[in-house]
Amino acid sequence: MKALALHLALIGALLAVQVVLPPYHYTNVARVMVLAVYAMGYNIAFGYTGLLSLGHALFFAAGMYATGLAVHSAPALLALPLGMLAGAAMALAVGLLALRTAGVAFMIVTLMFAQAGYLTILYYGPVTGGDEGFVLAREARMLAGLDLSADGPRYLTALAIFGVALLANLALVRSGFGRVMVAMRENEERSRMLGYDPFRTKLIALTLSGLYSGTAGAAYALMFGYVGASFAAIQYSILPLLWVLLGGAGTVLGPFFGALLMFYLIDLSSSVTDASNLVVGVALLVLVLFAPKGILGTIRERGARWLP
Amino acid sequence: MAAVLALTAVGLSLVFGVMRVVNVAHGEFFMLGAVAAWFVTSWMPGPPWLGFVATLLLAPLAVAAVAALADRLVLKRLNYDPEATIVATIGLLYILQQAALSLYGPDARPVPAPFELRLQLPWFGYSGYKLFVVAAAGLVLLAVWLIMTRSRIGLVMRATQIDRPTAQAFGIDVDRVYAGVFAMGAGLAAIAAVLIVPIQQAHYLMGGDPLLLSFIVVIIGGLGSLRGTLVAALLIGLSDGVISVFYAPTLAKILATLFVALVLVFRPQGLFGAKA
């Protein structure tokens, strides 16, 4: 009950805050919300199920390109679910192969698949625009009458997607299946002894994770009107890992706060220095060294045990 | 350049074999070696060969020192937990890359070869320096192999690899072995970079390709097996050129990465590795 109220309060706060946000931050927070959906998807695989993937950019890009290419000839209302499904289908396909491995090998296999995906996008340059990507026309970005290139509808759409994703995430981790996912993370052998199928559980978790990532990619394409190969690059597989680690792996709200903090950390530091990669690198090191549980993970440890 | 690839990959394989650490920053150590080579040769007075000899000694030592420092400050504190160290070496990758960009600049800079010599064979000319690279890499690899199999240091390393707690119980300072292995792996990458840098130019982003290729080599050769790594390096170094003659380089890369992923899924011990 307390947890549900907290999450509803966050959604309410994000709804209220748009009245006071200046235009620059208005766009940024919308962006952070979409990226937070991506981070939540990553968290389902990494934080709850213990699958450290280095290839989530593939799922994000699958959603992004499926939607971006489909809006050329179909309404956005149809292209958006297509992108979501593309993310999930890609995750399912990768999972069927990659989940035969575990640990370090799993990381390398996902990394390699994502790299192959990135190169494939470059290879089919005439269709995908290669390195430069392509821009979506304003008319293509009308979602059921909402003009997503305008600030207001964009923020509200982002909030709607974020809100649904957040509550679904909360429901998932509190369900029986969510507990089985955590069991896989904590002790795979013991869960197998108790009669749970590790492969099946992990595959479902990874597919859900791909669904979230694809949703984020599809929404990002529609809301910001740009589809590019850089979103499929290794950088975009590392970033959600960073956000989740910062916010707290295995917490529902962690990905959002991690994405928010990291976004503004890079944003602020870019006015001081152009060494944004340094910020990312140092943040990763500091996190694994001194705060492996992240912000919300630490709060949960220090008293708020009920935090989901 | 199969020889140079073999050097880089053996460094990576050594670190993984002994420490069970996947060093994602390995390519950056390669890049650091090349950059260090540029600094040393441009500051060193005298003929090019003198600067080159100095580089060949100084650059690997400098890079090894950086690696040992990274091991002490970061990896040791993580208890060499495989997943945490991957995240940490990704962080290291970003830091090193950014440091090189800030201190060295975004330009690719050439390093003069120590000598100019063209071997004129009847049917084609061949750069003498390239042959020298192959010979030098071969010598270094031989030295590594001798150290690993014949010397006390190698014995200690292999003992640590096979059973860490037992090695510790026998009075081996495991921490020092790990720091040494990590430094040695990085040093090998730096030697490879110094050798290659008169052919390629030094650039702050040059670490990406050797990293990917060494990964491919190490995986195909079997994780942690030095002999497999060598065979695979020769095979891939030679076939890389052949494949890109017939296909577009991007397509060749796609096929190579997919192939590696599938090898890991279906034959995790590598194509040449013994039983898992």
Are A96 and A106 contacting, i.e. CB atoms less than 8 angstroms apart?
no
Distance between CA B137 and CA B118 in Å, rounded? 19
Question: Which helix (H) or strand (E) segment is A159 a member of?
Answer: helix A151-174
Q: What percent of chain B has pLDDT over 70?
A: 83
Single-letter residue type at B174: V
**Phi and psi angles of residue A291, each rounded to the nearest 5 degrees, phi first:** -140, 65
Q: How many CB atoms lie within 10 A of CB B152?
A: 8
Instruction: Flag the least confident range among A236-240, B187-191, B231-235.
Output: B231-235
Q: What percent of chain B has pLDDT over 90?
A: 0
Instruction: Flag the least confident range among B12-26, B184-198, B225-239.
Output: B225-239
Are B237 and B216 contacting, i.e. CB atoms less than 8 angstroms apart?
no
The confidence score (pLDDT) of residue A234 equals: 84
B98 touches chain A (CB under 8 A): yes
| β-pair type (A142-143, A146-147) | antiparallel
The predicted complex's ipTM stands at 0.75
Question: Which helix (H) or strand (E) segment is B99 a member of?
Answer: helix B82-104
Q: Taken in order A95, A99, A102, A105, is the CA torsion positive or negative?
A: negative
pLDDT digits (tens, 9 = 90+) for A184-239: 888 888 888 888 888 999 999 999 999 999 999 999 998 888 898 888 888 888 88
Among B84, B91, B219, whose Cβ lies nearest the Cβ of A292?
B84
> Taking the CA of residue A207 as centre, how many other CA atoms within 13 Å lie in the half-sphere pointing to its CB?
12
Name residues 233-262 of chain A within 8 A of B (Cβ).
238, 241, 245
Q: What is the mean pLDDT of residues A87-116?
A: 89
Distance between CA A176 and CA A111 in Å, rounded? 30
B215 touches chain A (CB under 8 A): yes
B239 versus B119: the higher-pLDDT residue is B239
The confidence score (pLDDT) of residue B275 equals: 42
Residues of B in contact with A103 (CB under 8 A): 82-83
**Phi and psi angles of residue A134, each rounded to the nearest 5 degrees, phi first:** -145, 160
Name residues 100-129 of chain B within 8 A of A (Cβ).
101-102
Domains of chain B with bracketed CATH: 2-266 (1.10.3470)
Distance between CA A81 and CA A87 in Å, rounded? 10
- Asked if A112's CB is within 8 angstroms of B261's CB, the reply is yes
Distance between CA A96 and CA A68 in Å, rounded? 26
B102-109 long-range Cβ contacts below 8 angstroms, 24+ apart? B102/A275, B102/A278, B104/B35, B104/B38, B104/B202, B104/B204, B105/B204, B106/B204, B107/B203, B108/B201, B108/B202, B108/B203, B108/B206, B109/B38, B109/B201, B109/B202, B109/B203
> Taking the CA of residue B141 as centre, how many other CA atoms within 13 Å lie in the half-sphere pointing to its CB?
24
The confidence score (pLDDT) of residue B276 equals: 38
Distance between CA B77 and CA B74 in Å, rounded? 6
Helix ranges (DSSP H) in B197-248 = 208-221, 226-246
Using the structure block, give the residue that is written with the tokens 């809006």: A71
Q: What is the mean pLDDT of residues A91-95?
A: 94
The confidence score (pLDDT) of residue A208 equals: 95
Q: How many CB atoms lie within 10 A of CB A1?
A: 6
Q: Which residue of A has its CA nearest to B16?
A: A104
Mean pLDDT over the full length of chain B: 78
B250 touches chain A (CB under 8 A): yes
